[in-house]
Amino acid sequence: MKAGILTTLFIAGLAMLTTGCSTTGSNADADTEASELRVTPEGNRLAETNVKLGVGYFQQGNYEYALKKFRKALAIDDNLPSAHYAIALLYDRLGKSKAARQHFERAISLNPQYSDAYNAYAAFLCRGKDYVNADKNFRKALSNPLYRSHQLVKVNAGLCAIRAKNYTGAEGYFRSALQANPRLQTALFHMANIYVETDRHLQARGYIQRFAAVGKHNPQSLLLGVKIERVLGDKNALAKYALLLQKRFPDSNETRELFDSERR
């Protein structure tokens, strides 16, 4: 619940690369790509094959071979957006921020409708605390009506807004995600957390109850429940959350935090 952005993006980003190497926003874009494939069919197919092989190595944690395959794809076709996107994800994972930025921007310039790349680049910028440009890129990802992962982008954008202490913006993204899927636990948890941070504990209680209604509690949600009920003064509910946290997750950081707070 806390880290969210990085893990989600790598899983989703790599999955999109293995199922379809680029994301287009219109039939016109698809026609353009088809035309390019007819001009240099072998080069593009071979480049895409190397991207897919590289993604396989990436998923296995074999970054050396993944890098070789992505570089080979770019050597074959430097205008392949998915190759730039894939190597950007890898460079980001390796901590090579300058190279990652260059390839994210190249992927986007080659395909202005590449919502996966906008989403990943926005998360990259958010981790670098460039919150304004991160939000701009999240919004570009959402501007594509044919993009299939709007919910993922809204969650990532909401998490980034929380990092920026922009609780109003975060609330807007999570509300929008919940309109599409009222059972989305991640959004329910963070809405509760936002209300705690902004001293609206009664509303926070409602969201944490909705969270529990659609799935199992985790250490973070149970500790949040404790914090909510301490303020609202329901001792029975507080004791219930505390007991569940200690019983189900005795070795968690949240249980240690609970014990520490009770000693004060």
pTM here? 0.82
Q: How deeply is 145 buried, as exposed, middle or buried, from its count of CB atoms within 10 A (0-12, 13-18, 19+)?
A: exposed
156's tokens:
């990532």
State yes or no: pLDDT of 256 exceeds 50: yes
Summarize pLDDT for 132-141 with one digit per residue, the tens: 999 999 999 9
Summarize pLDDT for 147-191 with one digit per residue, the tens: 999 999 999 999 999 999 999 999 999 999 999 999 999 999 999
Query: 183-264: what CATH class?
Result: mainly alpha
CATH code of the domain occupying 1-181: 1.25.40.10
151 touches 131 (CB < 8 A): no
Position 7 confidence tier, pLDDT thresholds 50, 70, 90: very low
How distant, in Å, are the alpha carbons of 15, 52, 58, 76, 102 from that of 67? Answer: 17, 12, 8, 14, 15
171 touches 149 (CB < 8 A): no
Q: What is the rounded distance in angstroms from the CA atom of residue 71 to the CA atom of residue 73?
A: 5
Residues of the chain with CATH 1.25.40.10: 1-181, 183-264
186's tokens:
């991640």
Q: What are phi and psi of 215, to 5 degrees?
A: -175, -175
255: left (phi over 0), alpha (psi -120 to 50) or beta: alpha
43's tokens:
């080069």
Summarize pLDDT for 118-135 with one digit per residue, the tens: 999 999 999 999 999 999
